[in-house]
């Protein structure tokens, strides 16, 4: 199994295989064509379980530091409709509640885990290999199951109840009560929603969020989930999020987790190839077979038929829920497929001829500098002794203000490292600095280019997007650029024109704006005869 999963760590350094065997021995499939059979994890279910329960190689069992052995603090799983997320989540809750989900040291040889030693009447025995991580149950587990609405908790809660009733062993010491499930030592599993505010702050030891792609600041469920997570962290617990692909313009809990730079979040998302079109019947069938490859209980032909009908009325919903793709709502400027189809790994050596784009801010918004080569490859350069990317977030700097000295150093580095033909800079909040750069490098090279000019910005946006669609331009694999590009939405202006806006204050588009400016600088430079030997060109335009 470890070879099939292609793990990047020692397969003995996890409680995941113990977890999959324990769940198979105790839980039954709650419905569908495999109803009543042992709940055997497959494909992604095994991969997620093994990674979530990974143990640090030098971990030491310490009853006062229960989380210390786990490199993964929480996990987020993205999958299409009916791919097995809910039964997996129910099995996980039971394992966390009464199974050996805590680290108990390393096996020296001959050790076994027996359920009968921990109050379970079944005959399950797991024999550890030498050097394998061993598990033990938590003495008292308090687990929360959060959903967008109270009725939605049934997605996981009903399979959970069915699994308990179907198991003679579990039903002898795990009891389904009215509104909760009673665990040993007065532990419990409780279904929760935003409406149950008084329950969200209780001392939970773990939590599962169902459909976290729907949790937003606007509907208040994001706040409820964050409240739960804070309490769980204080009780040395961990969390899981299950979701369908989210709308990238809503800044949901799932999106925030995927875009976080924290290394202790495990993210699982099997995306179909970007070059397959969901609008095409043949491609759509291929997509379904890819995303449901680990779900033998799903007949792709049935999905094909249902999706074909849904495509007629709501193609975005069909592609998101069955095609397992991020699909923006109305007004999106760029699509995930367009970004994935133009991504390229290209090294841009020092001395290359480039154009630059700069979008500045004071606080709140980000400041970014992007570069583009003569042949249209766009990238985020680095600067300084630490090779920092030329993107500045105000919350990372003292007083929440963009560091002008760092930006000046980065611009100077660009002109030293590359042959800069043109630099277009949005002057807002950086007028003085841009004047200084123009004075040093030439007013025909560094030019103020206000992005609030509709007559200038609209054609630049159209050119940028159309050239990407024709694959006349590529970009680096920069997750920050990608996030900003997917967040941008079109803001309608008179004359069938548009500019770009952000869907919420928390979602930024500054790196995209800098990229558009760099690309427009390149286009104008080419129109003026830019060549590999050109270092500076004269710019003519009307305001």
When pLDDT is averaged across residues 174-195 and rounded to a whole number, the result is 92
531: confidence class by pLDDT, cuts 50, 70, 90: low
Give residue-wise pLDDT tens across range 50-89. Answer: 999 999 999 999 999 999 999 999 999 999 999 999 999 9
Please give the pLDDT value at position 540.
Answer: 32
| Structural domain boundaries in the chain | 2-269, 272-326, 341-527
Long-range contacts of 293-298 (CB under 8 A, 24+ apart): 293/43, 294/42, 294/43, 294/44, 294/45, 294/83, 294/84, 295/42, 295/43, 295/82, 295/83, 295/84, 296/42, 297/32, 297/33, 297/34, 297/82, 297/84, 298/82, 298/83
Model confidence over 213-239: pLDDT tens digits? Answer: 999 988 899 999 999 999 999 999 999
* pLDDT on residue 538: 35
Sign of dihedral through CA atoms 340, 212, 89, 13?
positive
How far, in Å, CA of 377 to CA of 358, rounded?
16
Architecture label for domain 2-269: 3-Layer(aba) Sandwich (3.40)
pLDDT for residue 405: 94
In this predicted structure, the answer to whether residue 3 has a pLDDT above a threshold of 50 is no
pLDDT in tens, 28-37: 999 988 999 9
**pLDDT at residue number 355:** 97
Q: Which of 243, 258, 239 is nearest to 72 (CA)?
A: 239
**Distance of CA 23 to CAs 87, 205, 306, 454, Å?**
11, 19, 32, 59
- pLDDT at 199 (0 to 100): 65
| pLDDT at 186 > cutoff 90 | yes
The pLDDT > 70 percentage for the chain reads 95
How sure is the predictor about 537, in pLDDT bands with cuts at 50, 70 and 90? very low
- Residue-wise pLDDT tens digits, 253-265: 999 999 888 999 9
Tell me, letter by letter, the H, E, C secondary structure of 289-305. Answer: HHHCCCCCCCCHHHHHH
- Rounded average pLDDT over 358-386: 92
pLDDT tens column, 117-150: 999 999 999 999 999 999 999 999 999 999 988 7
Q: What is the pLDDT of residues 419-476, one digit of tens each?
A: 999 999 998 889 999 999 999 999 999 999 999 889 999 999 999 999 999 999 999 9
Pair 45, 140: CB distance under 8 Å = no
Where is pLDDT greater, at 469 or 327?
469
pLDDT at 284 over 50: yes
Mean pLDDT taken over the chain? 91
Q: Residue 541 — pLDDT band, cuts 50, 70, 90?
A: very low
**Cα distance between residue 89 and residue 52, in whole Å:** 13
Closest CA to 47 of 216, 327, 247, 267: 267
Query: What is the structure's pLDDT at 510?
Result: 94
Q: Stretch 143-165: mean pLDDT, rounded?
A: 91
Which of 106-115, 257-266, 328-337 shows the lowest mean pLDDT across its residues?
Answer: 328-337
Tell me how crowded residue 7 is: count the other CB atoms within 10 A of its CB: 17
**At the topology level of CATH, where does 341-527 sit?**
Nucleotidyltransferase; domain 5 (3.30.420)
When pLDDT is averaged across residues 472-500 and rounded to a whole number, the result is: 92
Mean pLDDT within 40-47: 95
User: Which pLDDT band holds residue 395 (cuts at 50, 70, 90)?
Assistant: confident
Give 148's DSSP letter.
S
Scan for tokens 């959970």, then name that residue.
160
Beta strands in 34-150, from DSSP E residues, in sequence order: 74-78, 102-106, 112-114, 125-127, 133-136, 142-146
pLDDT at 194 over 90: no
Please report where in the chains the tokens 């397992």 appear, as a residue. Answer: 324
State yes or no: pLDDT of 535 exceeds 70.
Answer: no
pLDDT at 196: 62
pLDDT class of 198 with cuts at 50, 70, 90: low
Model confidence, pTM: 0.77
């Amino acid at each position: 199994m470890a070879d099939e999963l292609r793990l990047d760590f020692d397969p003995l350094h996890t409680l995941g295989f113990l977890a999959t065997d324990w769940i198979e021995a105790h839980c039954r499939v709650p419905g569908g064509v495999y109803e009543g059979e042992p709940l055997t994890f497959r494909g992604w279910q095994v991969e997620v379980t093994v990674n979530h329960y990974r143990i640090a190689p030098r971990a030491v069992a310490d009853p006062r530091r229960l989380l210390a052995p786990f490199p993964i603090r929480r996990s987020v799983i993205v999958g299409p409709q009916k791919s097995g997320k809910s039964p997996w989540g129910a099995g996980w809750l039971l394992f966390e509640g009464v199974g050996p989900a805590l680290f108990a040291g390393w096996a020296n040889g001959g050790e076994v885990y027996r359920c009968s030693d921990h109050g379970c009447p079944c005959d399950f025995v797991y024999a550890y290999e030498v050097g394998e991580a061993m598990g033990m149950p938590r003495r008292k587990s308090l687990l929360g199951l959060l959903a967008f609405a109270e009725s939605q908790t049934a997605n996981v809660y009903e399979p959970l109840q069915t699994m308990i009733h179907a198991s003679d062993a579990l039903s002898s010491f795990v009891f389904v009560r009215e509104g909760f499930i009673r665990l040993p030592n007065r532990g419990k599993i409780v279904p929760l929603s935003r409406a149950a505010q008084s329950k969200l702050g209780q001392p939970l030891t773990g939590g599962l969020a169902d459909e976290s792609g729907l949790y937003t600041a606007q509907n208040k469920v994001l706040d409820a989930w964050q409240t739960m997570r804070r309490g769980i962290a204080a009780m040395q617990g961990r969390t899981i999020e299950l979701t369908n692909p989210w709308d990238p313009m809503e800044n949901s809990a799932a999106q925030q987790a995927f875009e976080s730079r924290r290394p202790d979040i495990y993210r699982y998302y099997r995306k179909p190839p970007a070059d397959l079109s969901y609008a095409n019947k043949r491609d759509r069938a291929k997509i379904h077979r890819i995303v449901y490859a680990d779900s033998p209980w799903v007949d792709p032909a049935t999905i094909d038929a249902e999706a074909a009908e849904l495509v007629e009325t709501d193609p975005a919903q069909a592609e998101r829920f069955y095609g397992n793709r991020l699909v923006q709502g109305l007004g999106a400027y760029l699509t995930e497929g367009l970004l994935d189809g133009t991504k390229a790994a290209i090294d841009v050596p020092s001395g290359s001829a480039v154009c630059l784009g700069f979008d500045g801010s004071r606080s709140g918004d980000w400041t970014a500098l992007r570069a583009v080569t003569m042949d249209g490859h766009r990238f985020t350069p680095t600067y300084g002794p630490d090779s920092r990317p030329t993107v500045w977030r105000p919350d990372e700097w003292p007083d929440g203000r963009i560091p002008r000295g760092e930006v000046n150093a980065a611009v100077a580095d660009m002109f030293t490292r590359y042959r800069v033909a043109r630099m277009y800079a949005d002057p807002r909040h950086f007028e003085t600095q841009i004047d200084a750069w123009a004075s040093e490098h030439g007013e025909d090279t560094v030019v103020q280019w206000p992005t609030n000019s509709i007559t200038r910005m609209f054609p630049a946006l159209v050119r940028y997007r159309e050239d990407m669609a024709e694959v006349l331009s590529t970009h680096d694999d920069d997750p920050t650029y990608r996030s900003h590009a997917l967040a941008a939405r079109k803001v309608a202006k008179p004359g069938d024109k548009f500019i770009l806006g952000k869907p919420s204050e928390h979602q930024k588009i500054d790196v995209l704006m800098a990229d558009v400016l760099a690309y427009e600088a390149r286009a104008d430079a080419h129109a003026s005869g830019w060549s590999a030997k050109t270092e500076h060109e004269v710019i003519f335009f009307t305001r």
